[in-house]
Amino acid sequence: MNPIDSINPQWDSTFALMLALQKKGLVEYIEPHSLHLKDKKVFAYSSVIKVSRNKRKYFILSKSRLIDLNKFDCILFRTNPPVDTDYIQTTYLLDQVENNGTLVINSPQSLRDFNEKILGTNFIEKKLPMIIASNINIIKKFIKEHKKVVIKPLNLMAGKSISLVTHTNKDKEKIIKEITNDGNTLVMVQKFIKDIIKGDTRIIIYNGIPYEKVLVRFPPKNEFRANLAYGGKFFIRNINRQHKKLLSEIASYLKSNRIYLAGVDMIGEYVTEINITSPSGIQEIDKETNFDLSKRITNEFIKILKMHYTHE
């Protein structure tokens, strides 16, 4: 995970999972950036960790020691984007851990193979006008055609560097050049979805199961992004029955590719993203469901673990 002393324990999803997991077994904290490969084995500095709801001291670490990661039954890989060169190279090391027999959640191969922004486009029943491009003129033409668009980097999270651009925006070329690194970096450009005023829905899927309660986020005043990091408000509601068939298909596909925890984002009828690196929203839902979601995820992780070693 990202450095534990930098998280907000009131809302961090990894923290919620740790709270639930430590009731079932021993949890360790692997120090970020300490992974390394030697003699076909992957090592890192790790400590036994105890977490709690104590606001002043929410974690206690034992003395760290260097350990072969294959001594663990499972590695939960929850490092936040950007999915950059360092991130991809980390997945190569975790491939080696998997090859040596230890379960890794989510699959490092799938984290490489699937882009979170692009993955959702495979399941859109109602097609959302969208391009992926770096060429400035191609992007300008798309904006002219669709009048109002959202431009997204392909490897970031939490609404970072996302821009809303209209065809009348005098600075649109400057914005495009900046986000595409002067036409050298691919970005996703989507037609603006007016239904954002009705909320951006996050559906948590774990081990092929869409959770029945969903997180609906709303953008604050004068902001088009509903991300909580940008001041978005939220409430919890039951899953939309009309979306169940689509979400079931997504859930089955994710599970078949060893993606055991994901967050599907929908605006209206459109799937806009499928977060597979470090899906958030668990604590927000937990607080409305007596911590039911983190318990269910934990129980499913243990089922996956048992099946993995039975199969082995």
Residues 231 and 178 placed together within one structural domain of the fold: no
Residue 55, pLDDT score:
79
Confidence (pTM):
0.92
- The answer to the question of residue 312 being in a domain is no
Residue 127, pLDDT score:
75
- The answer to the question of residue 310 being in a domain is no
CB-based burial of residue 4 (10 Å sphere; 0-12 exposed, 13-18 middle, 19+ buried)?
Answer: buried
- The answer to the question of residue 307 being in a domain is no
Two tokens, residue 64: 């760290």
- The answer to the question of residue 309 being in a domain is no
Residues 296 and 202 placed together within one structural domain of the fold: yes
| Positions of the chain with pLDDT lower than 70, given as ranges | 124-126, 157-160, 220, 222-232, 311-312
Q: What is the CATH number of the domain that holds 41?
A: 3.40.50.20
Q: Containing domain of residue 139, as a range?
A: 129-192
Residues 179 and 219 placed together within one structural domain of the fold: no
Rg, C-alpha atoms of the chain: 20
Residue 126, pLDDT score:
66
Residue 42, pLDDT score:
98
* Owner of token pair 């050298």: 184
Residue 219, pLDDT score:
76
Residue 287, pLDDT score:
93
- The answer to the question of residue 268 being in a domain is yes
Cis peptide before 106 (omega within 30 of 0): yes
Domain count, the chain: 3
- The answer to the question of residue 306 being in a domain is no
Number of Cβ within 10 Å of residue 273's Cβ equals: 22
Residues 47 and 59 placed together within one structural domain of the fold: yes
